[in-house]
């Protein structure tokens, strides 16, 4: 038995070694170095300065603006994503007309390159774009969507469109695991649709919902790609995100502020995820 365990462990280590080396080289070591540089005054023969870089970062108006915009975007977009994806999943779980075609339509944004699709969004929301042309036909004045506060709504729409299909698939998988006998029993006992949704659907979708919330929060912090392709380096103030700030610090070679901002963002995401894990664990114990 000991020989078999030793062989099994050695084989597992051999299979995991390439992935572990790649993870360490491209993720773990750069992250540790970034955290280390955030406490130094220079990357070359630097000296330890403690939290001076973080104090300077928090005193920066541009960083506070980027952090507040990112927080606002996550607070608005994640609940919208959760509600819309769950509603669509419940709709597609029924015998809806053209259900298979609708499922395919919601998944398509996952496989289409973002850079090519952004061109369509630019043509749609440009000053001379399709949306303004349609609005003008109804006597509504043109709106420069990407140079006003409306840019925030545009980015939210793009984020929802791009990520909703993945969440719908996760919720569909969870809904199909719920036995139909539970709903039939609830109907016999006189439970309405709202009571069935609260006591059956939400209870059995807890794990799926927990995963969807975590992925939606992480993706909301990664919206820089879409924002950058639509609005460029220096977008409207309402969509100036943390990634814009870090990208600008990288272009100016201000590594200390860059690494300090990245470390703070990682810390915020880590606290949110740990809080969600604690809430999910307590909820599971309550249900048991």
Q: Which residues contact 81 (CB under 8 A, 6 or more apart)?
A: 159, 160, 163, 164, 167, 212, 216
Q: How confident is the model at residue 96, as a pLDDT?
A: 60
**pTM given for the model:** 0.80
Q: How confident is the model at residue 177, as a pLDDT?
A: 85
Structure tokens at 236: 């409207």
CA separation for the pair 29, 258 (Å, rounded): 16
Inter-residue contact 197 to 182 (CB < 8 Å):
no
From the list 177, 223, 182, 213, the residue with the least C-alpha distance to 199 is 182
Q: Which helix (H) or strand (E) holds 230?
A: helix 224-231
CA separation for the pair 41, 56 (Å, rounded): 12
Each residue's pLDDT, cut to its tens digit, for the chain (288 residues) gives 565 556 677 777 888 889 999 999 988 898 899 888 888 887 777 788 888 888 888 888 888 998 898 889 989 999 999 999 998 888 888 766 666 666 666 677 777 777 777 777 777 877 777 888 888 888 878 777 777 888 888 888 888 888 888 888 888 888 888 888 888 888 888 878 888 888 888 888 888 888 888 888 888 887 877 787 777 777 888 888 888 888 888 888 888 888 888 898 888 888 988 888 888 787 776 665
């Amino acid at each position: 038995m000991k020989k078999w365990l030793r062989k099994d462990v050695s084989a597992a280590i051999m299979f995991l070694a390439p992935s572990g080396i790649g993870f360490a080289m491209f993720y773990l070591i750069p992250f540790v170095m970034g955290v280390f540089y955030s406490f130094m005054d220079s990357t070359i023969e630097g000296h330890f300065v403690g939290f001076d870089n973080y104090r300077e970062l928090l005193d920066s108006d541009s960083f506070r603006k980027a952090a507040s915009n990112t927080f606002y975007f996550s607070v608005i977009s994640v609940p919208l994503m959760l509600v819309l994806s769950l509603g669509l999943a419940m709709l597609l779980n029924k015998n809806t007309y053209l259900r298979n075609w609708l499922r395919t339509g919601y998944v398509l944004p996952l496989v289409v390159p973002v850079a090519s699709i952004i061109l369509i969004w630019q043509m749609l929301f440009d000053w001379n774009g399709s949306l303004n042309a349609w609005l003008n036909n109804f006597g509504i004045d043109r709106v420069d969507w990407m140079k006003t506060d409306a840019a925030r709504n545009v980015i939210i729409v793009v984020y929802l469109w791009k990520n909703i299909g993945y969440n719908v698939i996760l919720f569909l998988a969870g809904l199909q695991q719920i036995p139909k006998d539970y709903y039939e029993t609830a109907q016999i006992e006189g439970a309405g649709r709202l009571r069935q949704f609260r006591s059956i659907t939400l209870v059995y979708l807890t794990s799926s919902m927990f995963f969807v919330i975590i992925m939606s929060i992480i993706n909301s912090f990664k919206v820089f790609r879409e924002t950058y392709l639509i609005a460029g380096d220096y977008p409207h103030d309402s969509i100036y995100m943390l990634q814009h700030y870090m990208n600008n610090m990288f272009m100016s070679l201000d590594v200390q502020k860059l690494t300090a901002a990245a470390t703070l963002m990682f810390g915020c995401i880590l606290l949110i995820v740990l809080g969600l894990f604690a809430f999910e664990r307590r909820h599971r114990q309550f249900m048991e």
